[in-house]
């Protein structure tokens, strides 16, 4: 059985990904992180909560991330945890930058220390390309982030 860890599993993207894996890859055990102090709810995972395992971990607290990785022993990590509200990035720009950049840095460092063999997929956003004029975009398209959120995801 492969262990899959989804950071931000209670968000819209994380919960949809968890549902997809459960339905299409029954050979996988799906685990996810949720911040103990998050203002969010568990409503997005209400239909699958008995099929997944949730770990309380704050990506800004590297010790909780290391502890979670040691317990889960993930083969694959999908990193979807982030402050993703673009409007809020203008209200609390430093919090968004700190959370998204340092949270990712802590996750990568924790993986290096606890489970370096894990495969990691990091979710970004098309906003890193700014306002593109050419379609379809390729990975060679210039990156021109236009707000703190897109900077944090770049």
pLDDT in tens, 11-51: 989 999 999 999 999 999 999 999 876 556 789 999 999 99
Helix 103-114 and helix 62-72: axis angle, to 10°? 40
Considering the entire predicted model, what is its pTM?
0.93
Q: Average of pLDDT values for 128-144?
A: 86
Residue 37: predicted pLDDT: 63
Q: Which residues contact 33 (CB under 8 A, 6 or more apart)?
A: 5, 6, 7, 8, 9, 54, 55, 56, 57, 59, 65, 68, 81
Q: What is the spatial distance between Cα 100 and Cα 41, in angstroms, rounded to a whole number?
A: 20
For residue 93, being part of any structural domain is answered with: yes
Q: What is the spatial distance between Cα 60 and Cα 98, in angstroms, rounded to a whole number?
A: 9
For residue 143, being part of any structural domain is answered with: no
For residue 139, being part of any structural domain is answered with: no
Poorest-pLDDT segment among 32-41, 45-54, 66-75, 90-99: 32-41
For residue 17, being part of any structural domain is answered with: yes
Write down the mean pLDDT value for the chain: 93
For residue 9, being part of any structural domain is answered with: yes
What is each CA distance from 100 to 38, 117, 134, in whole angstroms? Answer: 15, 23, 28
For residue 24, being part of any structural domain is answered with: yes
For residue 32, being part of any structural domain is answered with: yes
- CATH number, position 103: 3.40.50.720
By annotation, the residues acting in catalysis are 125, 127, 149
Other C-beta atoms lying within 10 Å of the C-beta of residue 105: 13
Q: What is the spatial distance between Cα 20 and Cα 88, in angstroms, rounded to a whole number?
A: 29
State how many domains the chain has.
Answer: 1
For residue 15, being part of any structural domain is answered with: yes
What domain range includes position 77?
A: 2-127
């Amino acid at each position: 059985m492969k262990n899959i860890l989804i950071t931000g599993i209670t968000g819209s993207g994380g919960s949809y990904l968890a549902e997809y894996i459960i339905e299409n890859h029954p050979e996988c055990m799906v685990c996810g992180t949720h911040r103990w102090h998050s203002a969010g709810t568990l409503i997005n995972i209400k239909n699958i909560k008995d099929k997944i395992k949730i770990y309380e971990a704050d990506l800004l607290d590297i010790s909780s991330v290391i502890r979670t990785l040691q317990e889960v022993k993930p083969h694959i990590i999908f990193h979807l945890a982030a402050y993703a509200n673009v409007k809020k990035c203008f209200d609390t720009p430093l919090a968004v930058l700190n959370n998204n950049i340092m949270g990712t840095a802590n996750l990568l460092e924790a993986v290096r220390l606890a489970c370096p063999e894990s495969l990691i997929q990091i979710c970004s956003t098309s906003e890193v390309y700014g306002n593109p004029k050419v379609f379809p975009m390729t990975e060679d398209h210039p990156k021109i982030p236009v707000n703190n959120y897109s900077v944090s995801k770049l």
